Amino acid sequence: MKQRKGFTLIELLIVVAILVILAGLIYAVLALARERVRINYCVNNLKQIGAALHMYAQDYNGFVPPYTNVVCAGEECNFILPNADNPMLLKAAFLPYAKDKQIWHCPNDPFAGKSTREPPKESGPPTWRGFMWNSIDHKVTSYKIPMEYAAKGIAPVHIDFPPPVLTAELVGGPRDPRYIWRLRWDEPLTWYALDYTHSDPYKSHWVAIRLFLDGSTKVEIER
């Protein structure tokens, strides 16, 4: 009877290599599926916020809450209403229309429910701090609500008449005494809330989920 030979070392290495490749592919697919589930979860959150926004507008003659969660600093604060960035006032405005507190935060937000007006004390990547921490206050929501909705001169904003976007541009050159930031108004702002907690600043991975004033949502993905 002919004796059966065992696997050679090369054959074992080939099998191991194939298993490693398959495991990597499966992990990538699972990670992508998990990300899609989280994106869909946050899309559903924004849709519910959009429904609450429309109910609020119906009760207040079409106007939206004059509040923002953008952390303003310096001259920017001169353009918003007093206490417009107070998280408790934003929460109070929506409380009768959105009872579920979970819709205001995304699972990807590491600062959900925390006041992020000051830099974090714990260790963390500086880029991540600047990307997530310093732009909006996460006390009430993970989603950015632009300060245009609370800007003096245009607030309160009617849901059917979007406000213009407030942008900044440099005037003059570095050696010019007029080298300052000048604010100007651009095209109408049609979206109400923005979720970018799925983005990764280190991998140039940008995911933006927008809630528009008409209640619709849109997912924008750039890799």
Instruction: With beta carbons less than 8 A apart as the criterion, state whether 129 and 121 touch.
Output: no
Would the pLDDT of 179 be above 50? no
Q: 75-125 pLDDT, tens per residue?
A: 667 888 989 999 899 999 999 999 898 999 988 888 888 887 765 556 555
* CA atoms of 138 and 117, how far apart (whole Å): 9
> Are the CB atoms for 2 and 172 separated by under 8 Å?
no
Closest CA to 220 of 201, 202, 194, 200: 194
- Tell me which of 7-16, 35-44, 213-222 is least confident: 7-16
Please state the rounded mean pLDDT for residues 20-31: 71
Q: Centre a 10 Å sphere on the Cβ of residue 47 and count the other Cβ atoms it contains.
A: 15
DSSP string, 34-83: HHHHHHHHHHHHHHHHHHHHHHHHHHTTTBPP----B---GGGGGGB-TT
